Amino acid sequence: MIQRDAHTISLWQDHAGGYNTINKADRGKTYDVIIAGGGITGITTAFLLQNAGRNCLVVEAANLGYGATGGTTAHLNTLLDVPYDTIQRNFGKEGARQIREATAEAIQLIKHHIDRFDIRCGFEYADAYMFAQTEREAAALKDIAEATLMAGADVSGVDKVPLPLGAKKAIKVTGQAKFSPLPYVQRLATAFEHIGGTILQQSRVTAVQDKETILVITTQGPFHCRQFVYATHIPPGVNLLHLRCVPYRSYVVAATLADNNYPEDLSYDMQQPFHYYRTQMVEGQRYLIVGGEDHQTGHQENTENCFRKLEAHVRELFNVEDIRYRWSAQYYEPADGIPYIGRLPGQTGEIYVATGFSGNGMVYGTVSALLLKRLLLGLHSDYIKLFDPSRIKPVAGFNTFVPHNADVVKQLASRLFPAEKLEQLAGLAPGEGKLVNYEGSKVALYKDEQGGLHAVDPVCTHLGCEVHWNQAEKSWDCPCHGARYSVDGQVLNAPAGKGLDPHDIK
Ligand SMILES: Cc1cc2nc3c(=O)[nH]c(=O)nc-3n(C[C@H](O)[C@H](O)[C@H](O)COP(=O)(O)OP(=O)(O)OC[C@H]3O[C@@H](n4cnc5c(N)ncnc54)[C@H](O)[C@@H]3O)c2cc1C
């Protein structure tokens, strides 16, 4: 099993062995490109650039698949979370057409890699169904269907969906697919190394300085390159993109069914938040995979309840034999509905980024790789302007938020806290965490299963918001930009580059 940025265990991570690198990183040489992040975006970008003759190094803070790629549900779809009528409103008919075309190309590229490297990852083409259960949803689905058709997809109205429920209105879109993400990413990583690429795991990029060459400081020392890519899902540090991307958590269960009646294809309801359904065969066992209960990171106190609600929903619809896996992971919702891929705003040098994928980062991560390859090679692409991270699209309804807690939380560094008093204040059960007030200051306190207390400063090191406890993942999550920390304050998710300050407990 590989590690993930979470306490819960995903179906994919449980079935993946650790990735053993082949080539050694060389500090003495100047790489053409260094890519931070070993998820689908980083590995695909690295492979395409290496294949085009560039000498690339991937620097991964933990292990391949540690981020959302290890916690995804791996629908490969052009029928996206942000519907085409919204994309059309924000980017016009041509923009919507380009998005459909780019995502379809991404699915083709994934299939091409699977065929070329004989990747056993259970890839299958599928149809996607979206269905309405109320009159209001039916009216919205009509608009979505029209815009999806106009964007170039093969859309048809259908009477039935492949789920045991009735629908007022439903559409089917062909040309979608599904797979297991980690065998794909790991095998593509091997192919990348076979053609001369290098991967450095357990090494976090802590700073990038644009000098004569680009100096990349990592926890395993400095490296040099000419071009640099942040494929870290969200870039670390402080950037305009943190105000344009909202972090969300989504919950997933993988169940076995007593009646073997597994739904084929991909299905999406239109509830708020919506549910997404599919089946995947993994090592001879079929799993029904259902996701949903999404909420803004740090905005839901009882994250266990999200799993309970999702499980209840699955048990109501299906004849569940066993819930084998339940996990949650994070994604980033872009302000205007489509990702930010290109030059990192505010930088003069050749520093690039790919972020804001919503729940479609398998395809958008691959779209990013295709576009970044052209950008870094200095080639033209029709998509450069569309995905430009510096674009300004003020769209109605997007609730930007800025850190608002910084001034109310005092710095607590180097204070000594009496354990007895802290415990009384918190009244914690083993396995629980809580923000407690101690003499006018706040402490993020966790009690482990053995009764040991872990206290850290609750001020997020990114922009100073106050972190919230996530019971299901046993992590401290920042509601502002989605940085996440372990109970001892170590960084689990960017954009934070530095952990929470630990506090000594007497
Ligand atoms: C529950 C859920 C379900 C989803 N389902 C789907 C789906 O069905 N279909 C779909 O297309 N998309 C889906 N998505 C979205 C998709 O999983 C993600 O968008 C995608 O995995 C992002 O890939 P990535 O490579 O960009 O980022 P990640 O997979 O998060 O990889 C980023 C990597 O960067 C590393 N890193 C971070 N900071 C640093 C640093 N400073 N230095 C070095 N390395 C660093 C991390 O350790 C991590 O391994 C889902 C998302 C969630 C949360």
Q: How far is CA 54 from CA 27, 344, 369, in A?
A: 17, 20, 14
Give the tokens for residue 208: 């990038």
For residue 146, how far is its CA from the centre of ligand 1 (angstroms)?
A: 31
Q: Of 196, 45, 37, 33, give the one whose Cα is nearest residue 106.
A: 45
> What would you report as the CA-atom Rg of the chain, rounded to the nearest whole angstrom?
22
Percent of the chain exceeding pLDDT 70 equals 93
Whether 215 is in a domain gets the answer no
Does residue 412 lie in a domain region?
yes
In a domain, 271, yes or no: yes
φ, ψ at 109 (rounded to 5°): -65, -40
Taking the centre of ligand 1 as the mean of its atom positions, its distance from the CA of residue 237, in whole angstroms, is 17
Ligand 1, residue 329: give the atom nearest the CA: 53
pLDDT at 348: 82
pLDDT tens sequence across 332-356: 999 999 999 999 998 888 999 999 9
Distance CA 69, CA 45 (A): 14
> Per the domain annotation, does 66 fall within a domain?
no
Q: How far apart are CA 365 and CA 348, in angstroms?
A: 24
CA distance 139 to 424: 54
Q: Which atom of ligand 1 is nearest to the CA of 491?
A: 38
- The SS3 call for residue 190 is helix
For 96-133, write each residue's pLDDT tens digit: 999 999 999 999 999 999 999 999 999 999 999 999 99
16 within domain boundaries = no
| Domain end (from 273, 296, 331) | 331
- Tracing tokens 């209105």 back to the chain, one arrives at 169
* pLDDT for residue 399: 44
| Ramachandran angles phi, psi of 456, nearest 5° | -135, 160
C-alpha 27 – ligand 1 centre gap (Å): 27
Distance CA 186, CA 50 (A): 16
270 and 170 together in one domain: yes
Atom of ligand 1 nearest to the CA of 59: 43
Ligand 1 probe mutation, 59, 73, 77, 340, most atoms within 8 A of CB: 73
Ligand 1 nearest atom to the CA of residue 236, by list position? 41
- H helices present in 252-342, as ranges: 303-317
Q: How many angstroms is it from 211 CA to the middle of ligand 1?
A: 29
Quick count: other Cβ atoms within 10 Å of Cβ 120? 11
Could you give the CA distance from residue 325 to residue 302 in angstroms, rounded to a whole number? 19
C-alpha 297 to ligand 1 mean position (Å): 15
Atom in ligand 1 nearest the alpha carbon of residue 249: 53
Looking at 331, 357, 384, the residue that finishes a domain is: 331
CATH number for the domain that contains residue 313: 3.30.9.10
User: Which comes out higher in pLDDT, residue 178 or 447?
Assistant: 178
Strands (E), 150-300: 155-158, 169-178, 198-200, 205-210, 214-218, 221-230, 245-257, 266-268, 276-282, 285-296
Backbone angles phi, psi at 485, to 5 degrees: -135, 150
What is the rounded CA–CA span in Å between residue 81 and residue 69?
Answer: 17
pLDDT value, residue 417: 63
Does any domain span residue 492? Answer: yes
Phi, psi of 2 (to 5 degrees): -95, 165
Q: Is 215 exposed, middle or buried (0-12, 13-18, 19+ CB in 10 A)?
A: middle
For residues 148 and 279, membership in a common domain is answered with yes
Pick 147 or 450 by higher pLDDT: 147
Report which of 62, 92, 60, 66 is spatially closest to residue 12, judged by C-alpha positions: 66
End-to-end C-alpha distance for the chain, whole angstroms = 36
Residues 85-95, mean pLDDT to the nearest whole number: 97
Alpha carbons 10 and 65: distance in angstroms, whole number: 11
Distance of CA 64 to the CA centre of its chain: 13
**Residue 356 · residue 338 · CB < 8 Å:** yes
Same domain? 324 vs 411: no
Average pLDDT over residues 241-267: 96
pLDDT, residue 406, reads 35
Ligand 1 pocket list (CB less than 6 A): 36-42, 59-62, 66-69, 71-75, 204-205, 231-233, 236, 250, 252, 291, 329-331, 357, 359-363, 365, 494
For ligand 1, atom 22, the nearest C-alpha belongs to 361
pLDDT at 403 over 90: no
The predicted structure's pLDDT at residue 412: 31
- Determine contact, residues 11/289, Cβ cutoff 8 Å: yes
| Residue with more model confidence, 78 or 502 | 78
3-state helix, strand, coil in the chain (%, to 5): 25, 30, 45
d(CA 69, CA 46): 16
Average pLDDT of the chain? 92
Average pLDDT for 186-197: 98
pLDDT digits (tens, 9 = 90+) for 212-250: 899 999 999 999 999 999 999 999 988 889 888 999 999
Q: Are residues 255 and 144 in the same domain?
A: yes
Q: Would you say the C-alpha torsion 35, 232, 128, 267 has a positive or negative sign? A: positive
In the listed set 331, 350, 378, which residue is the last one of a domain according to the structure? 331
For residues 313 and 423, membership in a common domain is answered with no
410 and 326 assigned to the same domain: no
Position 408 pLDDT exceeds 90: no
Checking if the pLDDT of 416 tops 70, the result is: no
The total number of structural domains that make up the chain: 2
Write the single-letter amino acid at 238.
Answer: V
Q: Are residues 149 and 258 in the same domain?
A: yes
Domain of 461, CATH number, reads 2.102.10.10
User: Is 306 contained in some domain?
Assistant: yes
Percent of the chain exceeding pLDDT 90 equals: 84
Q: What was the pLDDT predicted at 441? A: 80
Is pLDDT at 148 greater than 90 in this prediction? yes
Same domain, 307 and 412: no
Which structural domain range is residue 496 located in?
406-505
Nearest ligand 1 atom to alpha carbon 40? 25
Domain contains 356: no
Q: Widest CA span of the chain, in angstroms?
A: 66
Q: Are residues 171 and 308 in the same domain?
A: yes
